[in-house]
Amino acid sequence: MTSEGDGNNLIDVRDLEVRFGGRRGEAPVRAVNGVSFALPAGECVGLVGESGCGKSTLANALMGLVPYQAGEIRVEGQDLSSRLSDGRGAYARFVQMVFQDPLGALNPRMRIGPAIAEVLRVHRLAKNDAEAAAMVPRLLDRVGLASRLASRYPHEISGGQRQRVCIARALAVEPSVLIADEPVSALDVSVQVQILNLLKELQQDLGLTILFISHDLATVQYMCESVLVMYLGHVVERGPVSALFGAPAHPYTESLLSAVPDVTRVGASSGGRASRIVLKGEPPSPREHPPGCTFHPRCPRAQPQCARDVPVEMVLADSHCSQCHFAEQAAAWAASR
Ligand SMILES: Nc1ncnc2c1ncn2[C@@H]1O[C@H](COP(=O)(O)OP(=O)(O)OP(=O)(O)O)[C@@H](O)[C@H]1O
Ligand code: SF4
Ligand SMILES: [Mg+2]
């Protein structure tokens, strides 16, 4: 994983904060709270964390769809706001998004062919309707769909085929970056693997850079070179997949990995299954972040210091970073389970 500010990065995010509400004296929802990371060209970076931790908000901020109140987003070295001043269309040709629900993302009254051709026309990538229609079969083929499906409506094809159509619409503009927000969560398990393989293939063949959002660690391990673990608006651990899955250096990551026994180094090296860590209680409200380490009320490793002092990010090795006061011990804790 490349560091922020590296010339190889397509997107650099530094100390990003996104808040919602907060008028009339009520505390704002601090959905993204001081996030820094980089999206290196050609890499697939995973973003994981519980529901409500801020993954989609972060993605929407990168898309320029929600405003941020602090920090910066740099796109190929340029500030996002100045990049957007060149026009939303131009930015949309740089970064595209694929969502969890392909049915909701498609117009139910528009056939598949025209739905793809529409993107080409909106972005002026085809001179007229006939030229746009002529480009559709190639895009369908690119995502593994037969051209005869162009005449079908979204409800006449399967969920996996619909997600392929959404990917084809995203690819129509030949983006550099694809943000995939839970792209397989709504699909049958058998179809999930096919869509993951398609994304992998596109990453390799087209040199696509992907931010892959998921709550499923096994999927992230399969897809990504590096991973960001998010909790209550913070990135609490980040690093190469091999390092993070092999020696998690944050107790929250350790607990997530314990729920996927077959991917934990702990379970494998001990010759048996490491027991699952069940976290106490629900995640706190994003309106009221606990003091000190925000994970401390639920952390099985918490010490008195954790309720008082905010942990700073510690660099362990090879861009493997953790926001835990005891990051260096955490890998040993995980290994001893
Ligand atoms: N437009 C909004 N107005 C107010 N609060 C919002 C808004 N959008 C998101 N939130 C809140 O921000 C927090 C983060 O939400 P977000 O959708 O980013 O989480 P997520 O990690 O994508 O969750 P999930 O895994 O369920 O998709 C949540 O508490 C959510 O309720
Ligand atoms: S700083 Fe303390 S509470 Fe936070 S993750 Fe580390 S051990 Fe747990
Ligand atoms: Mg989400």
- Other C-beta atoms closer than 10 Å to the C-beta of 326 total 21
Rg of the chain over Cα atoms, rounded to whole angstroms, equals 21
Contact (CB, 8 A) for 213 and 236: no
Residue 321 pairs with which residues in a beta bridge?
238, 315
Backbone phi, then psi, for 180, in 5-degree steps?
Answer: -110, 105
E strands in the chain: 9-20, 29-40, 44-48, 70-75, 78-79, 95-98, 177-181, 209-213, 226-231, 234-240, 314-317, 320-322
248 Cβ inside 6 Å of ligand 2? no
Rounded-to-integer distance, Cα 103 and Cα 95, Å: 21
For residue 283, the model assigns a pLDDT of: 83
Contact (CB, 8 A) for 70 and 16: yes
Q: End-to-end alpha-carbon separation of the chain, Å?
A: 28
For residue 195, the model assigns a pLDDT of: 96
Atom of ligand 1 nearest to the CA of 285: 29
Atom of ligand 2 nearest to the CA of 236: 5
28 Cβ inside 6 Å of ligand 1? no
For residue 225, the model assigns a pLDDT of: 95
Closest-CA residue, ligand 2 atom 3, reads: 296
For residue 43, the model assigns a pLDDT of: 96
> Which domains occur in the chain, in start order?
9-94+175-336 (3.40.50.300), 105-174 (no CATH)
Residues, CB within 5 angstroms of ligand 3 (ion):
55-56
Strands across the sheet containing 29-40: 29-40, 9-20, 70-75, 78-79
Distance from Cα 227 to the centre of ligand 2, integer Å: 19
For residue 270, the model assigns a pLDDT of: 40
Mutate to test the pocket of ligand 2, among 237, 303, 321 (most ligand atoms within 8 A of CB): 303
325 Cβ inside 6 Å of ligand 2? yes
Contact (CB, 8 A) for 64 and 22: no
Distance from Cα 157 to the centre of ligand 3, integer Å: 25
CA-wise closest residue to 256 among 223, 284, 294, 295? 295
Map tokens 């290994």 to a residue: 335
Contact (CB, 8 A) for 142 and 86: no
Q: What is the pLDDT along the chain (337 residues), one digit of tens a residue?
A: 545 657 799 999 999 999 999 888 889 999 999 999 999 999 999 999 999 999 999 999 999 999 999 999 999 999 999 999 988 999 999 999 999 999 899 999 999 999 999 999 999 999 999 999 999 999 999 999 999 999 999 999 999 999 999 999 999 999 999 999 999 999 998 899 999 999 999 999 999 999 999 988 999 999 999 999 999 999 999 999 999 998 999 999 999 998 875 544 444 444 444 678 888 888 889 999 999 999 999 999 999 999 999 999 999 987 899 999 999 888 777 777 6
Rounded-to-integer distance, Cα 279 and Cα 299, Å: 7
For the chain, the maximum distance between any two Cα atoms, rounded to a whole number of angstroms, is 68
CA-wise closest residue to 18 among 33, 39, 1, 37? 33
Report which bound ligand comes closest to the CA of 297.
2
